[in-house]
Structures are given as C-alpha cells and as structure tokens.
Structure 1
C-alpha cells in the first residue's frame, strides 16, 4: 500500500507543478488580489490554506508533531509558496514512512475547536490530497475571474 500511496502523491506533485507553472504566468499582484466571490481570499491565500491543512492533518493530528503553521504575510510570492510546499512534501514523506505498515490504524484526532473524530492515516491522506484538488480548482476559477485562461492541471492531461 505504501508504494501505491507514494505513486499517488507523485501524481499530485505533477498536477501541483502544472498549477505552479501556470501561476508563474499570473502577475504577482493578481496572485495576491482578494476576490469578493471567494470570501476576499486570494490565489496565494488559498494555496497557503492547503499547505497549512497538510500540516494540520498529517503532522499535528496524526503524527502529533508541533510544527508552526505557515504565515500568509511570509508568503507573498510564488517562490515563497513553492518553498512552503517543499516543507509539505517533507511532511508527506515522514507521514508515509511512519505509517507504512499501519495505514488502516484508527487514530483519535482533536480538532482546533475541541471536537474529536477517529480516522485512519489512509483516510487522512485521501482527505488531504482531495482537499488540495478542491482548492486547486478554486485557484483556477479565481484566475479566470481575473481575466486569465487556465491550463489543464489535472493528473491526466495532454
């Protein structure tokens, strides 16, 4: 199962690279532009939200590590965003190595609001990557609203 999840994450990385390469064609001021249609969030704040969710679900909740969250004010350009995702990749690597033989193990998770739920590392892995794809779609939509023509950033693309 470990090899399968590692391969799946490599597909996520390929799609993420396509997204970041596309974002390189977007002006920095547009990457930072809050959009009312997205609760006054920007493309960069959406990307940083996803990076922080990886930290919350994989690192803090499942592996019980105390890593600081990424701060939006420190990520005001695509280079800083890419660097943050480099850290996310290290967290994912640690996560997959840690749970190589116990991806189905049920773990009690406490959310920031104090509520609790029980999930397996496999479920959390799936949640984290699908969450990224959800927000990737939002980023593409945001760019369209700003007048750009999005490219294909799916796992299967030309």
Structure 2
C-alpha cells in the first residue's frame, strides 16, 4: 500500500503523455489562442497552471527543498510544448520528493501557517493536485475542440499487457 500513490502518479504521467503528444501535433500558435469562458484563457496557461499546482501545494505544505519560481506572464505567453514538458518535469520531481517523505504517512496532518493554520494530510494534498490537473486537462481538450482540433481520449490509461 505504501507505493500506491507512486504507482497512481506513474499512470497519470502516462495519461499526461497522451496530452503532450496531442499538443505537439497542433500548430504552435494554437497553444496561445484565447478561448473565452475558461479560467485560464489559453491551452498553454491552463497546462502550466496545472503543473504549478503540484509545486505550490506540495512544496508549501511539505517544506521540501525549493524549486524554481513559477513562470512569469511573459514566459507563459511564449511557452511551447518543450516548455510545458519542462515545467511538468519539475512537478514530477516535486511529487517524487513529496512521496518519498510522506507516502508511508498519508494520514499525518501537515500544517501550513500562511494558510491560516490550515491542516491537511498528504493524501488530501495528492488528491487535490491530481484532481486539479485532470480538471484543467478537461478544459484543455475542450479548448482544443473549440478551436477546431479533435483531441484523442486522454482519460484512459491502458495498463501494459491488457486491452481496452
């Protein structure tokens, strides 16, 4: 049970790879076309925001080593798929470090005083960051559809040795 979240996160990374491959197939300017009605109005911004959520929540509560500051607005506006991959690789490192510290202590309450002494468990933190990424992934594929591009199914991960 102690490696359950690590295994789950590996599946999430495989699912994310499907989205990255799709984004690589799009014309570069599509990442920055504004799509009204979404919390983050471009595909690049929504995807970077999802990566930043892992960095913000897990680093903040777990007090693990510091990581680079989130991209500036200028960096977001010029981000390409390799940049998106880069920021998710940092998020992956944050998750790996977080899980190495807390995966065997998932029910321990962690407090962060800048959040008004908010206390949450490592399980809550991982659940929050994962569902947050999938929420924005759904927005990203919806934005792509609004822009006239049909994304592949990004919800399912077929385990090795099985079929759909």
CA deviation profile, 1:120-151 (whole Å, cap 9, x unmatched): 00110111111100000000000000000111
Greater shift in the superposed pair: 58-67 or 98-107 = 58-67
**Superposed CA RMSD:** 1.8
Where does residue 87 of structure 1 map in the other structure? 90
Tell me by how many angstroms 1:20 deviates: 0.5
Where does residue 126 of structure 2 map in the other structure? 125
Taking structure 2 as the reference length, what is the TM-score of the superposition?
0.86
Where does residue 5 of structure 1 map in the other structure? 5
CA distance in 2, matches of 1:39, 1:55: 19
Where does residue 143 of structure 1 map in the other structure? 144
Structure 2: gaps spanning 5 or more residues: 159-163
1:25 equivalenced with 2:31 (yes/no) = no
Change in Cα spacing, 1:98 to 1:39, as seen in structure 2 (3 Å) is closer
CA deviation profile, 1:60-98 (whole Å, cap 9, x unmatched): 222354433321433510011101111111111100001
1:14 equivalenced with 2:22 (yes/no) = no
Taking structure 1 as the reference length, what is the TM-score of the superposition?
0.90
